[in-house]
Structure 1
Amino acid sequence: MYEQTFLEKLNRKFGRFAIRNLMAIIVCGMAAVFLLDLYLTYEKGIYFSSYLTFDRAAILSGQFWRILSFIFLPPDSSVVFIVFSLYFYWLIGSALENQWGSFRFDLFYLCGILATIAVGFITGYALNDYLNLSLFFAFALVYPDFQIMLFFLVPIKVKYLAFIDAVYFLWMLVTEGWRNKIVLLIAIANVLLFFGRDFVSKIRSVYRRYKYRRDANQR
Structure 2
Amino acid sequence: MKTEQILNKIERRFRKYYIPGLMGYVIFGMVIVFIMDAIICPMTGRQQLYPFIQFSRSAIMHGQVWRLVSFVFEPITYSPFFFIFTMYFYWMIGDVLENNWGSFRFNLYFFTSLLGAIIAGFITGTVDNYYMMLTMFLAFAVIAPDMPILLFFFIPVKIKYIAYVDAAVLLISFILAGFSGKIAILLSVINFLLFFGEAFMVRAKMRINHWKFKMKNRR
TM-score, normalised with respect to structure 1: 0.94
Gaps of at least 5 residues in structure 2 are none
Tell me the CA shift for residue 77 of structure 1: 2.6
Alignment partner of 1:31 is 2:55: no
Please say if 1:214 is aligned against 2:201.
no
Q: Does 1:89 align with 2:90?
A: yes
Please report the RMSD computed on the Cα atoms of aligned residues, expressed in angstroms: 1.4
* Alpha-carbon distance between aligned partners in 2 of 1:203 and 1:170, rounded to the nearest angstrom: 17
Q: Counterparts of 2:46 and 2:177 in 1: how far apart (Å)?
A: 33
Q: Displaced runs of 4+ in structure 1, greater than 6 A? A: none
> Could you tell me the percent identity over the aligned residues?
39
1:29-81: per-residue Cα shift (whole Å, max 9, x none)? 11111111121232133111211111111111111111111011111231111
Secondary structure class of the residue paired with 1:148: strand
Mapped to 2, the partners of 1:112 and 1:212 lie a distance apart of 38
Q: With the length of structure 2 as denominator, give the TM-score of the two structures.
A: 0.94
One-letter identity of the residue aligned with 1:202: R
> Counterpart in 2 of 1:136?
137
Higher relative contact order (CA 8 A, sep 6+): 2
Segments of 5+ residues of structure 1 without an aligned counterpart are none
- After superposition, give the CA deviation of every residue in 1:155-199 in whole Å (9 maximum; x if it has no partner): 111111111112221222233322112111223332111101211
Measured against aligned partners, the alpha-carbon deviations of 1:118-169 in whole angstroms (never above 9, x if no partner) come to: 1111111010001111111111122111110011011111111111112221
Q: Please give the alpha-carbon distance, in whole angstroms, between the structure 2 residues aligned to 1:178 and 1:204.
A: 30
Cα distance 1:175–1:2, how it changes in 2: closer, same or farther (>3 A)? closer
Task: Tell me whether 1:172 sits opposite 2:181 in the alignment.
Answer: no
- Comparing 58-67 with 168-177, greater Cα deviation is found at 168-177
Match of 2:157 in 1: 156
AA at the equivalent of 2:201: V
Amino acid aligned to 1:179: S
Per-residue Cα deviation, 1:85-115 (whole angstroms, up to 9, x for no partner): 0111111111111111111111111111011
Distance 1:10 1:172 in 2: 33
Matched AA of 1:140: A
Q: Distance in 2 between matches of 1:160 and 1:76?
A: 23
User: Which residue of structure 2 lines up, in the alignment, with residue 107 of structure 1?
Assistant: 108
